[in-house]
Structure 1
């Protein structure tokens, strides 16, 4: 059943362009644990959720690319689809980058129209940008008859973000939007791209997101700086252990042995990543055992590492996690996403969700004088067409 938003997007498309579009939904994601591990060839544990981007897309029979950001009330037009290049319009680059990736693979992209809108909160660390990329990649794959598999569409979406949005993101966000499965989280090995689904029982535990209201831009220098610091650590370790191609291959003992050479900052960054990879593997074991309390402890440890060693948290996120620890029925909490703002992710007993929201909201209001925005999410399937 089409949502009211996708019906609105469809109506806007037909009013503007005068023909019937393909309707597509692409979910945002949460990541239960495994932060900043993806670009270090490590493990992540995301799930697609019911905050999503909705698209109406069609081939217009001409050469123009016409894009409409329905939520923003903004339009973008390119005169010739054969001459795609990065634009000054930030949001348009996520879509143009996808079309450019098809061209780079030798697929001619004709003129097309796209109206899109979303319920993924912007700047909340739920990967609205990846959902935008994956939605258009799905639609173009459909129209061009390219028959690219889901992993190739995932790569197209990731490379669009690298080349046109300027963010050297790992593959997790696009992977989760494409490969999501209802009622499951998915552990992705970001090196081999092997993946495994684990059931996540939302009747035993709800996923509640608390939005700090602090806006971040992943294109900011801090994200890329963390990536460079990890690469510096690998370069140092490789001189002693040639088999270490990424922090995925390193141990804490190896880091300790070369602490002075690494320097205090790079050591802390690398130690966090090595420990976080272990936490993801342990967390999956806890899920299989049905031990949500043990899973939650891994989440708290993840937040501590992100705060103290990786230094990508902020005071607002730290207050939310501390408030969660004090609230009833909480298994675990941590900051989620690139950092410096966005959301905390909290696992809460279903009968305690309302009490949790009231308790954490009161703490946030008292500390910052701000009204806390919260979202309860359901785990859903990945990108796909919407039947009218």
Structure 2
């Protein structure tokens, strides 16, 4: 079901369930093109919002309670507004209650609300569907409360809500992609200053194809915690010689190479990936400013090589999918998606996407003797309000 038709159905069901006309928004999925893992090292990250979306409908109910309804799974939970989640609550409920708490902590009087959500974001593909719903709720409450928070303020509010759910510091990337975008641009996040730079990107000309290798989530995320610890050890070695260093972002290649033997080869290579990936994000920003999307794609290939060889978090299935993508003449770039995802991310001219899907599916079937799941997506400008006229037009 398309996002527009889902929005109309969901708005109608909302009125049946809750007896009120809601604010309805579309909130996008997110991928990271370049800068994977760099949020841990105060680096730069280049995410993109996709037009695989969650639809979120919200209305204030003036009961002091929150009612949350998952349209796709037909599950409703209810809690007092001040709750952090009743016993046995789903993780997404904690996150959404955390968004509500964020507005209250900023001094906004929240009288209770109803929220219904659904979408077409594949679950388990690493596209952050829960973050999309949280972004949509934050955007909708911002409208309903007339809070007038800007995109970055909403992103930080939603980030704190994820912290409440996961009990660890969570990155801003999901929320910056959803809430700080602009039509015809990609956002680049500086994880030290939290500044967002909008870089030009002609969304109509390009498509992303995600290819799912079908590996387990544990394999997809294997080694991440160890890599973070190794990079911390590398920084500790460097700070013995350069005590002014605050993060790997400040390290020069010469400084890193000088103490390669002292930190050991594995730690050196993990840190080398961070330095090189920061440089790739900077180069990508220059390429986008110049309108050179093909050069952006080359940085994606280089990023995958770094994730495979230096950061050592890839696996044979993902490596093979990237090689298959490189064999297709129209592919501009490809890399592993990262996080808990078992997918690769492939950048193509829009006209080549369907043919690419057939090529990669046939090649993977031949090499791995298994069916390949693929998803296509374009670039989204971020969370948007769906007006009543659009809902009425779709309903007709």
- Is the alpha carbon distance of 1:297 and 1:381 closer, same or farther for their aligned partners in structure 2, counting shifts above 3 Å? closer
Contact 1:233 1:266 in 2 (8 A): yes
Partner of 1:199: 200
Q: Is the 8 A contact 1:24 1:135 kept in 2?
A: yes
What is the deviation of 1:156? 0.9
Is the Cα contact below 8 Å between 1:55 and 1:117 reproduced in 2? yes
Q: What aligned pairs does 1:48-127 form with structure 2 within 5 A after superposition?
A: 48-78=49-79, 80-85=80-85, 88=88, 89-127=90-128
- 2:361 is aligned to 361
Q: Deviations over 1:344-364 (max 9, x none)?
A: 121223443233111111122
Report the equivalent of 1:230: 231
Q: TM-score, normalization: structure 1?
A: 0.91
Partner of 1:5: 6
Give the 3 Å change call, closer, same or farther, for CA 72–215 of structure 1 in structure 2: farther
Question: What is the CA-CA distance between 1:167 and the residue it aligns to?
Answer: 5.1
Aligned to 2:27: 26
Instruction: Name the SS of the counterpart of 2:197 in structure 1.
Output: strand
Gap regions ≥5 residues in structure 1? none
2:185 is the alignment partner of 1:165: no
Note closer, same or farther for the CA distance 1:225–1:142 as it changes in structure 2 (3 Å cut).
farther
Per the alignment, residue 239 of structure 1 pairs with 240
Per-residue displacement from partner, 1:79-132 (whole Å, max 9, x unpaired)? x21233476322212212212222333434332111111212222222222212
Instruction: Write the distance in 2 (CA, Å) between the matches of 1:148 and 1:291.
Output: 34
Q: 1:200 to 1:145 in 2, by over 3 A?
A: closer
Deviation per CA, 1:173-199: give whole Å up to 9, x if none.
Answer: 110100122222222212112222222
Three-state SS of the structure 1 residue aligned to 2:123 is: coil
Q: Give the gaps of 5 or more residues in structure 2.
A: 389-396
Structure 1 stretch displaced more, 220-229 or 179-188: 220-229
Matches of 1:116 and 1:211, distance apart in 2: 25
Please give the alpha-carbon distance, in whole angstroms, between the structure 2 residues aligned to 1:302 and 1:220: 17
Question: 1:180 aligns to what SS in structure 2?
Answer: coil
Q: Tell me what 2:332 maps to.
A: 331
| 1:324 to partner: Cα distance | 0.3
Q: 1:374 aligns to what SS in structure 2? A: strand
Give the length in aligned residue pairs: 386
- In the TM superposition, what is the alpha-carbon distance from 1:202 to its structure 2 partner? 4.2
SS in structure 2 opposite 1:330? Answer: coil
User: Structure 1's 220 and 94: CA in aligned 2 closer, same or farther, altered over 3 A?
Assistant: farther
The Cα RMSD (Å) is: 2.5
SS in 2 for 1:55: strand
How many angstroms apart in 2 are the aligned matches of 1:173 and 1:320?
25
Q: Aligned partners of 1:314, 1:86: CA distance in 2, in Å?
A: 39
Asked whether the equivalents of residues 123 and 217 of structure 1 are also in contact (C-alpha less than 8 Å), the reply is no
Q: Aligned partners of 1:280 and 1:73: how far apart in 2?
A: 41
1:274 lines up with 2:275 in the alignment: yes
The answer as to whether partners of 1:39 and 1:169 remain within 8 angstroms in 2 is no
User: Is residue 304 of structure 2 the alignment partner of residue 287 of structure 1?
Assistant: no
Give the 3-state SS of the residue equivalent to 1:57 in structure 2: strand
Change (3 A) 1:217 1:102: farther
The answer to whether the 8 Å contact 2:65/2:112 transfers is: yes
**1:16 equivalent in structure 2:** 17
Superposed displacement of residue 219, structure 1: 12
Is the Cα contact below 8 Å between 1:300 and 1:332 reproduced in 2? Answer: yes
Partners of 1:94 and 1:132 within 8 A in 2: no
Q: 2:141 & 2:204 partners in 1: Cα distance?
A: 37
- State how far apart, in whole Å, the 2-side matches of 1:252 and 1:35 are: 19
> Which is worse superposed, 92-101 or 263-272?
263-272
Q: 1:271 to 1:61 in 2, by over 3 A?
A: same
- How much does 1:302 deviate? 0.3
Query: 2: distance between equivalents of 1:100 and 1:221?
Result: 33
How far is the alpha carbon of 1:65 from its aligned partner? 1.2
Whether the aligned pair in 1 keeps the contact of 2:49 and 2:380 (CA below 8 Å) is: yes
Query: Does the C-alpha gap of structure 1 residues 113 and 229 become closer, same or farther in structure 2, counting only changes over 3 Å?
Result: farther
